[in-house]
Structure formats: C-alpha cells, structure tokens
Structure 1
Amino acid sequence: MPVRVSEFSWQQTPAAVFLSLPLRGVCVRDADVFCGESYLKVNFSPFLFEVFLYAPIDDGNSKAKIGNDMILFTLYKKEPVMWETLSMPDIDKEMMQRIREKSILQAQEKAKEATEAKSAAKREDQRYTLGVMMKIEEEERKKIEDMKENERKKATRELEAWKECQRQAEEPKRIPRKEKCQRGKQAEEKGAIKPPSLPRKVPPTRLPGRGRNWENIFSEKLKEDSIPAPRSAGSIQISFTPRVFPTALRESQVAEEEEWLHKQAEARRAMSTDLPEFCDLKEEEKNPDWLKEKGNKLFATENYLAAVDAYNLAIRLNSKIPLLYLNRAACHLKLKNLHKAIEDSSKACKIMKLHLRSTQPTQLYRTMRRRFGI
C-alpha cells in the first residue's frame, strides 16, 4: 500500500501555478510523473502524490524539474484566473476515478497522435530523400549518356575521315584533257608512242592425276589399308582350385564350412556392389574377422569411436555375425549411447535365435562336444 504525501507547497499567478514537492530521499530515476489537464500524479515508491486540479491546465507546455530532493512543477493555466485552492473541493471517489480514466485516455490519444505524426514525418523525410537520390541518379545517368553520345559522334567523325583518306589514296590521279592531248602530240612527233599491250593470262596447266576422282580413289584406298582384319575367335580354359578345410572326418563341419563360404561370397558381393568407395582397401581390410580383431584392439585402448567404425565396416561386409553387434553395443555403452547399445544387443539376440533354429541337433551336439567337452 503506497504512502500518500500531503506535504507540499504551491504558489500561483494569473497565468501559472508553481508546485514544490519533496522527494524524501528517493533517487531521481525512481520518480514517475504523470500530468494531464485536470490530474497530476507523482509515484516515487513507496510514496504517492496525486492532486485533482482546480481548473484545467496546458499539459503540453507545463514543465517539471527534478533536483535537490525536490520536484518543482510549473503548470500553465488555460484561463488567466486566480484559483481558490489547488485541488477540487468536495470530490468523491467515483469522480476521481472518472478523472483518472479520462486523463489516461487523453494521454494515450496524444501519444498515438505524436507517434503517427512522427511516423508521417519520417515517411516524408524518406520520400524526400528518395526523390533527391533519384534526381541525382537521373542527372548522373544523363551525364553518362551525353558523354557516350559525344564519344560516339567523335568516333564516327574519325571513321569517316579515315575512310575518305583511304578513298582518296586508292583513286588514280586524273590528268586534265588538255594536258593529255598535248602529251599525245609530243609523243607522236617523237615516234615513241606505242599502244599499250596488257600481258596475256596463261591458263594454269593441269597436271595429270590431280582431279577430284583421283583424290576420292586415293582416300578410299587409304581407308581400306588402315582398317585391320577381324580377330580370330578363341576360348580360354580356366581351372579353379577347390577349397579344402583341414578338418578330421570324425569332426566334420560341412554345414558350417558351407555357411562360412556363403557368408564370404555375400561379403565379396557387398564389397563389389554396395561399397564402391572401399575398392582401394587392402585384402585383409576386407575380412570381417580381421576388422573384428582390429575393433577389439581399439576398444582395449579406449578408442571407442574408431572401434565403432571398424565394427560398422565389418557389419556391412557380413551382417550375420552376432559378435560384431555385441562388440559395437559395448562401444556404444561406453559412449553413453544407450539406445544404440540396446538396438545392437537386440539384433545380436535375434541373429543367435535364428542360427539356433536353423542348426541341426547332431551338428549342435558336435559343436558343444568339441567346445565344451560334453
């Protein structure tokens, strides 16, 4: 609840009212002043001062000066009349509320008008600036066009003069008729004149074999000589060495060996179709087992990202080895990628279930006997 201030002093003249209000040790920037035609409010927390003026004032020209822990108001009256009191006598709460709302609405309208006037002035300034810039650009463009036209006319005149000089240089000098007759008579008298004879043009001799037909025959013969004869067909015999596993007959693993060969064939097919960017890898780098060992070494050295890359390439080569998924899940677990770790573990479990369903009981028994001594 704000504390209302009742300590103030005021003086008046027929044209203005001078109001002095103490700030009570409040900082200047914390004081909020609102002034309307009939309402004046000063809010400097936790204090509040408001007064409903006796008569309307010119709030546009009124001033407020803050300093020395005091606010000094200079309020100009709209009518030069001496006031009996500073505030209205016998005013109730409803009337106070109406005066407050009216003052706020008037202040908002004035602020809106001021904003619109400012925007209109800004637009007018922009329009004027744009017009000036367009005028300057138009003058510059006209100046450039005049310069181009002058240069074009100058170049045209120089070209015409050069053509005239060339024409005059090519034309033979004409001898006047009188001078020509006199020269002819002098030559006849001396007997030295002879009719000019032009040199006779001799047609060029045509060598034999230089006609168009000879050229066509020569080119066709040259083309026939340059075409090689077709190659003879033949067949090449290729023999493949069968793959032999050094396994005893009593511990035969034919099904596992065929499955291993099938996986290797799928890996080679994947390398030739799906991974063309890895065609420059070494032979051991195309082996999923070698990549698995490489990933295990990287995992032991805590280089988990590189180990994930190795397992990724191995899985792309052969996606049916559950141990690759388990090792990659361990790397993701170290890297805090829990969703990927769960996904790889589920994939490994699914592959192992499919493998157990497809394995024959006798083969499973042999495998368990060999590995666990059952």
Structure 2
Amino acid sequence: MPLIPKNYTWQQRSFPSTGTSSQSVVSIVLRVPFPANRFQPDDIFTMEQFLKISHPPHYWELFLAHPIDADASHCSILENEVVFELVKQDPTVCWDTVELDVPRAERATLKQQYEEQHRKRLEQQSKQRAIEKDRKKKDEIHRQIERERADRSAIDNLLEESKQRELKRMELAMVKQYRPDPAKASAPNAGKSLSNIQPTPPKGAGATGTQHSDQQQELPRPSSPPAIRRSGTLEVTFSERTFVTPKRESMEQAEQEWTLKQAAARRAVGFADDDLRPDERNPEWLKQRGDTFFQQRNFLAAISAYSAGIRLTKDYYALFLNRSAAHLALENYQRCAEDCSTALELLQPPVEANRRARVACLARRAAALVKLGFLQQGYEEMIAASRLDPDEASLRLEVDRLRRCIEEERKNRSESESDE
C-alpha cells in the first residue's frame, strides 16, 4: 500500500515590481516532507498544472490551482523533504490556494489530459531541439567550408607570389646573361673622351700614347645573344609487331613460338599469306584463290585467303560476302552474320547492279540468325530478301517454312502456359 503524505506546506514569494503595483508575486515554494527518502530525478514528474512523486512505497500527487512555467521551475531533493520552486505563468495572479479541488471521479481523466498535453509538449521540444541541432551542424559545416576556402585561397596566393618572384628572378638572370655590363660597354668611349681633353703629350711620349690607344681598341666587345635555333621535323618509325602488347624481352621467346605455330597451322590448311609473292598480294587474286579453296571444300583455307584480301583493303564487299559463306559452312554463325552486315554496309547506295549481292547477304544472314536461335529476326530478314528477288522460288519456300516454324513455336508455348 502506498504511503501518501498530506502535511505539505507552501508559500508565495514576492519581489519588488517595476509596474504600478507595490509588489508582484512570481513564485511558489512548496515543501513536501519525505523522511529518509531515496528519490531520483526521474521519480519526480512536473507539468503545468500537475505534480507527482512516485517511488515505491511513496506516492504523492497534486493538481495545481493555476498553471506554472514547467521549464523555469525546479525541484530540490533534500534528505527529509522535496522542495518545489514553481514559477508562475502569470506573475500578477495571487494564489489563494495551491491545490485545485478535483472530484475523485474526475482525477483520472484530468490526469490523462495533462499527461497528453505534456507528451505533446515534449515531442514539440524534441523536434525543436533536433531542428536546432541540424541547423548548428549545417552552420558548422558552412563555417568549415569557408575556413577551407580561405586556407586554399591563402595557399594559392602564396604560390602565385612565389611564382611571380621566381619568374622575376629568372628574367633578371636572363637580362644579366645576354645584356652587356654598362660599365664595360662605356669604358672605351670614356677613354676616348678623356684622350680628347688631355693636353698634347710631349715629343718623347708618342710611343706611349700609341700603345694606350691600342689597348683601348683591344678591349673585349660584349657578347651577343645566341641565334634562335631552326625548327625541324623528326620522323619516327616503329618496328612491325604482330601483338598488341608492348614488346618484352622475357616474353620474346614465347611470342616467337606462338607466331611459328600459327604460321604452321595456316600452311597446314593450304594457305599462308606470308608465303605470297609481291605480285600475288592483290585482293582480286586472293578472292579467286579463296573461291577455289571454297569449291574444293577447304573452308579454312578459303577464310584465310579472304581474310588476307580484307587486310589489304576493307572496301571490297565480295571478300566479306564470300567469307560469310565459308563461315556458314563451318557453322560459325556469329562470324557469318557479322560479315553479312559489313557487306551490306559496303553495298551502298542500293542500286540494281548490287541487288543480287544484297539478296545473298540478307538470305545468308537470315540463315545464320535462325541457327543462332533468333527465329523471328531471321524470318524478317528472309522476307526482305524475298521482296528484293520475288522471282526466286527457293526464297519463298524458305519464308513459308520459317512462318510455319514460328506458328508451331507459338502454339507449343501457349499449350505449355495453359498446362501450367
């Protein structure tokens, strides 16, 4: 059962007023006796019109008759009592009683109302503190940025001053190096002027005067600055290299071994462009050579011949078109589609003279796309080829076959989705 003290005392404190009244009551001192208490600050609860002390087995609460300033008020926990010093919200109001007479049935409701108001006030204060903290943090960041900007500006100014001093020093050094000394430059003229105003020497001093004038003529002349160098162009040539990486002595033996293996492999298939004579390094001759290998079903040699011709010129569409046929025969469908695309780019603008070649490119690329699994794209390519050559029956048959394959695939997909 809680121990509820009843014999609390209170008094009003008056201070001199600056207004018309003689005195003004601004605070209430409330003393609640708690012998041998062990209270902590968290055990005391203060609101605008409600006070509470809760620490088992002690419990005490008081509904205030008038509102107070909870932030300005404070509480002192002494050894045998708790002293509240409450600051009034309205200092001009004189309290007749400190406790509000509330019926027992309404105490719980009124207490909840006060607690809700206190909770909202605490939330508002918490938000305000968070906003203030964020503002201070931003202000500190701005100040730090300004300090860093000022430091950078000071450093830049010091560097610029040092740079200007160094440039001025270098300029003075160059002037001293390439400009003659004024004292030395004026020495011969000064000697001559002095000789002009000197009296005529006696007859025995003729040789001495001649020797003095010779010494003046032998004085060193100031050196002129060196002539500007002539501009030129340096031609740099680089040794031929097969690999794209820089040459390294540690990898030279392995690279040579790999190059020899590749050359042997090209000779094994029947063609090696390294063995060609200068008169055979002709794209047309290499195309005919590749066609011969293709007719002999030596597709690797045909690809090597066509590739050698492409290395000589990249604008001959027939080399790409024929190489795509060899790739298609070897089931290199990706390479076949790429060569067909390159050949189509070279077959521009589209005219009647290159129509048959464009038909072959489209039909061959369609076949490669179908083999790669792109059935719809291959079907569209085959339709384009058939429109370019409507008289070719084989193209129409291939279009019909691809259409049936697409319809069958859609039907199977719909059946599988319905089963799921």
Shorter-chain TM-score bucket reads 0.3 to 0.5
What TM-score does the superposition give when structure 1 sets the normalisation length?
Answer: 0.40
What TM-score does the superposition give when structure 2 sets the normalisation length?
Answer: 0.36
Greater relative contact order: 1 or 2 (C-alpha under 8 angstroms, separation 6 or more)? Answer: 1
